[in-house]
Structure 1
Amino acid sequence: MTTKLSLINLEQVKNTAGVPSYPRSALKAGIVHFGVGNFHRAHQAVYLDELFNAGRDHDWAIIGAGVLPSDEAMRAKLESQDFLTTVVEQDINRTAAHVTGSMIGYLRPGDVAATVAQLADPAIRIVSLTITEGGYFIDPASGVFDPAHPAIAADGADPDNPKTVFGLIAAGLKARRGKGIAPFTVMSCDNIPGNGEVTHAAVSGVARLSDPAFADWIDANVAFPNGMVDRITPATGPREIFTLAEEYGIDDQWPVFCEEFKQWVLEDRFPQGRPALETVGVQFVEDVAPYEHMKIRILNGGHAAIAYPAALLDIHFVHEAMEDADIRAFLAKLEREEIIPVIPPVPGTDLDAYFRLIETRFLNPKIGDTIPRLAQDGSNRQPKFILPSTADRLRRGEDVVGLALVSALWCRYFAGISESGRPIAFNDASADRLHAAAARAKDDPAAFLALGDIFGAVAASELFRRRFEKALKTLWEHGTRATLRLYLDNRLAD
């Protein structure tokens, strides 16, 4: 017997899960959030729920928003359960569920007028985003906003009918300026170095296409704080929905399962105010960059490093990959010898201890994180999580045997078959051209490095090309496991 998640059923739900201690009627919207996926609901929404449970800042509730037709499925499911979400936190030795109520509405995707009107509401003082690393219209090789992207160019040509999140934000800011309302703060919660600066470039960039003076006003008046966010949050599927129903008796159409650990580091630049998030564990600092480098390169880079050898060896779950002695040793050697040495110091942080924590988190079997999730969207993730470490080492005149192997494993993965001959299902916007380049690279490794928008100047390095070619040739001739062992024995660079 299950209980459908809804406000009216919270009395029954609280028999097996924590529920909000605040009345939802007490909440008022202060934030519009674009990109209501699992990570947002396991991270920002949880921090706010904890704050509301403490009796604080009930005027900072969330209104969800989306721009893609696919966002409608999430909106409809959340609306059917009064915008409540069950979050199941799973540590190795502990599992607990609680219901968050920090979201109180969700704008219908595609309704430009309603979205701009909500953004123009003086009560909205923060607009936040989790739209994935690939959603910022960045040229992967240069790391710079691309105003010529067709979606951005379309918004520039028709700014009153925007289709992108940045066009909508710009339209909301323009409406506020026209009414004499102070601008909201724009807060990215995505895994991108300098995510506030990147978001600033996108919002100002799309505005500049139609109104340079307005873009100058954005530059001078709108705050875009940088932030670092962290919580491993797998995708939701039938397994999670069934588990919640079986173990907790809750019928939630889209629950979130995640690890217990979470972290949020923010620059304190919120001219129109902000919720007192420091009271629930958010760390406010003057400069987020060291924390970003640490997390993106050690954790996200670590995910990228293990994803492709695991996929080639037909390993499905992340914890199973970490239980494989060769993959775990490969990750440790790569991190300690090539990634961590080029990360700037982080205040009050031992980087090796941080990596040991990451290892423990990757080993957590309860959250059910999957290799296909880690392997997706590599065309956006490799240039952000792996290649910056490669470039830093090359600039310092240092070797890149392990990092070149990561790139070669990615290339081998895009050949489309695992070691056992099983077809690989790609999840990448650039899958077709990556697959074609990887097929050519079997005989001509330079064909993959010719993807200039991904590899950029790294591909021009003679040392990197040599290491990549040797690694890829070894993968094809001897297989993934043998190649990993050659690397571990310091014989891959021979």
Structure 2
Amino acid sequence: MAVALKSSTLSEIENAKVPSYDRTALKAGILHIGVGNFHRAHQVAYLDRLFESGEDHDWAICGAGLMPFDTTVRDTLAKQDFLSTIVAQEAGSSAARVTGPMIEFVEPGDPQAVVDRLADPAIRIASLTITEGGYFLDASGHFNPDHPAIVADSRKPESPETVFGVLVKALKQRRDSGQTPFTVMSCDNLPHNGVIAREAVTGLARLSNPELADWIDINVTFPNAMVDRITPATGDRERELVRELFGIADQWPVFCEEFIQWVLEDKFVNGRPSLDKVGVQFVTDVTPYETMKIRILNGGHAVIAYPSGLMDIHFVHEAMENELVRDFLTKVEQEEIIPTVPPVPETDLDEYHQLTQQRFANPKIGDTVRRLCLDGSNRQPKFIIPSIADNLKSGRAPNGLALESALWCRYCYGETESGAVIEANDPNWDRLKKQARAAKDDPMEWLAMDDIYGTVGADHSFRELFAGWLNMLWRVGTRKTLETYLER
């Protein structure tokens, strides 16, 4: 019989490692907004290692969230004393670890409660995983002060509703009370995520209080970071596997790969945990690492996602077993993505690419193609379009990346090649579907989305490549189109 996960039952768990540190002695030093699977597989996992070493027990995590679903997150985790089972899986192994660095969770849906917790001097880092779409960016990838949610917060800074409004108000309280500010640490999968977080916080503050914005800009640190660990969503499959394999009844376990990486700028205004002792790389400039990861790994995910989705392939490892998809990925990476990535210290880019292919092919992860297809309107401008732009600047024809864009367009039509309906899979799904349907007759309708394609969509050579591939996809289908590309 499975053991219900909670503090009082840890001694009954036999098939997984459990915390040896005294969780009752932990004190929160980090408030994290956006408690999802990736946060628990990544930041929580690193802190768990650190606490196991006997160090920095005043850097535990207080969870927080402002979205409606965060109530379910809090309620589920609270029932198991904020413990989480992390299952790291490789092709030939599975290992479970119950992690305990999270010790509390602010009442969801109460922005003022989050402000009050952030105003506590014990909180020295505010960390974020709010997804790529949570930063209110414009087509150029910078903070958009005209977004309706930002405009609303700027008009009522004492009653914020956005994450950034909450951060601004909390920093104002700390300034006004003479406290040292906290560091804002983005753990989202964005290029220059610290820079983007700074733009959002100071940009919002400047709309209502320019003096506060200047104080934040001078006194608050926003380290850039590269984060990496493939972490799929949790469903009934994962809950049942934890029961069967490890004898634990965890209502929200996290499955992930064994690989984990965190490269972080050492810019912390109010101290930090000794994460360098448990594998985090602290560097002066994260840019080479994040460019490598975002283009080769995340861009690679996008390359395999849409042909696989159109061919009704369910799991990512099954996509990698498909010769056409695997060869498509290899050719695009070698000819059009890797050449756009600057050198990375002590890293062979071809070896990194080979490692990503091995990670994608991991059959134990159970990562789904649908997850890779999610939120293309936010991901494509960050993971794919910069590589297209760099190829165009260098005089290389982005042939494979144009095909990737055409496959995304065809996917957003809303039907797989078998005729199965593709359910909404993007915050802007209705708009994308409308544009994709118009593009069946006129491919330029897709590239007319300037907020996504920017200047790339106006490039004559790219427009020709894109139109050719999209027309071919409609004429002969995904398989024959991939075959044609691979023969060239």
**Could you say whether these structures have the same fold, taking a TM-score greater than 0.5 normalized by the shorter chain as the test?**
yes
- Aligned: 1:449 with 2:447: yes
Question: What SS does the aligned partner of 2:227 have?
Answer: strand
Name which of 273, 276, 279 aligns with 1:278: 276
Indicate the residue corresponding to 1:475 in structure 2. Answer: 473
Counterpart mapping for 1:326-405 below 5 A: 326-405=324-403
Deviations 1:400-423 (A, max 9, x none): 100100000000001111111111
Indicate the residue corresponding to 2:232 in structure 1. Answer: 234
- Aligned: 1:84 with 2:83: yes
Deviations 1:343-383 (A, max 9, x none): 00000000000000000000000010000000010000000
Counterpart mapping for 1:81-480 below 5 A: 81-139=80-138, 141-480=139-478
Letter in 2 for 1:66: G
Shift of the alpha carbon at 1:217?
Answer: 0.7
Letter in 1 for 2:453: F
Shift of the alpha carbon at 1:115?
Answer: 1.1
Indicate the residue corresponding to 2:29 in structure 1. Answer: 30
Deviations 1:314-347 (A, max 9, x none): 0000000000000000000000000000100000
Is the contact between residue 112 and residue 166 of structure 2 (CA under 8 Å) also seen in structure 1? no
Runs of at least 5 residues in structure 2 that lack an aligned partner in the other structure: none
Indicate the residue corresponding to 2:12 in structure 1. Answer: 12
Letter in 2 for 1:30: G
Indicate the residue corresponding to 2:2 in structure 1. Answer: 2
Shift of the alpha carbon at 1:424?
Answer: 0.9
Question: What SS does the aligned partner of 2:158 have?
Answer: coil
Distance in 2 between residues matched to 1:465 and 1:335, nearest whole Å? 21
Distance in 1 between residues matched to 2:109 and 2:237, nearest whole Å? 31
Distance in 1 between residues matched to 2:210 and 2:327, nearest whole Å? 53
Distance in 1 between residues matched to 2:327 and 2:290, nearest whole Å? 25
Which deviates more from structure 2 when the two are superposed, residues 328-337 or residues 203-212? Answer: 203-212
Shift of the alpha carbon at 1:112?
Answer: 2.5
Distance in 2 between residues matched to 1:93 and 1:474, nearest whole Å? 40
Shift of the alpha carbon at 1:479?
Answer: 0.6
Query: Percent same amino acid among aligned pairs?
Result: 62
Distance in 2 between residues matched to 1:274 and 1:92, nearest whole Å? 35
Deviations 1:112-158 (A, max 9, x none): 2321111011111111001111110001x211111111111111111
Is the contact between residue 219 and residue 269 of structure 2 (CA under 8 Å) also seen in structure 1? no
Moved over 3 A (4+): none
Q: TM-score, normalised by structure 2?
A: 0.99
Is the contact between residue 66 and residue 111 of structure 2 (CA under 8 Å) also seen in structure 1? no
Deviations 1:429-457 (A, max 9, x none): 11001101100101100001111110110
Shift of the alpha carbon at 1:246?
Answer: 1.4
Question: What SS does the aligned partner of 1:209 have?
Answer: helix
Indicate the residue corresponding to 2:70 in structure 1. Answer: 71
Letter in 1 for 2:287: A
Letter in 2 for 1:462: H
Distance in 1 between residues matched to 2:302 and 2:61, nearest whole Å? 32
Letter in 2 for 1:2: A
Q: TM-score, normalised by structure 1?
A: 0.98
Letter in 2 for 1:68: M
Between the two proteins, the alignment pairs up a number of residues equal to 488
Letter in 1 for 2:457: A
Distance in 1 between residues matched to 2:20 and 2:247, nearest whole Å? 20
Letter in 2 for 1:86: T
Deviations 1:143-195 (A, max 9, x none): 11111111111111111111111111111101100110011000000110000
Question: What SS does the aligned partner of 1:300 have?
Answer: helix
Which deviates more from structure 2 when the two are superposed, residues 102-111 or residues 375-384? Answer: 102-111
Letter in 1 for 2:120: D
Letter in 1 for 2:187: C
Letter in 1 for 2:432: L
Distance in 2 between residues matched to 1:460 and 1:114, nearest whole Å? 47
Letter in 1 for 2:71: E
Question: What SS does the aligned partner of 2:208 have?
Answer: coil
- Aligned: 1:39 with 2:38: yes
Distance in 2 between residues matched to 1:142 and 1:443, nearest whole Å? 28
Shift of the alpha carbon at 1:209?
Answer: 1.2
Question: What SS does the aligned partner of 2:88 have?
Answer: strand
Letter in 1 for 2:38: F
Letter in 2 for 1:332: T
Distance in 2 between residues matched to 1:193 and 1:128, nearest whole Å? 16
Question: What SS does the aligned partner of 2:463 have?
Answer: helix
Distance in 1 between residues matched to 2:278 and 2:159, nearest whole Å? 39
Letter in 2 for 1:440: A
Question: What SS does the aligned partner of 1:161 have?
Answer: coil
Distance in 2 between residues matched to 1:254 and 1:282, nearest whole Å? 26
Runs of at least 5 residues in structure 1 that lack an aligned partner in the other structure: none
Distance in 2 between residues matched to 1:302 and 1:354, nearest whole Å? 12
Question: What SS does the aligned partner of 2:108 have?
Answer: coil
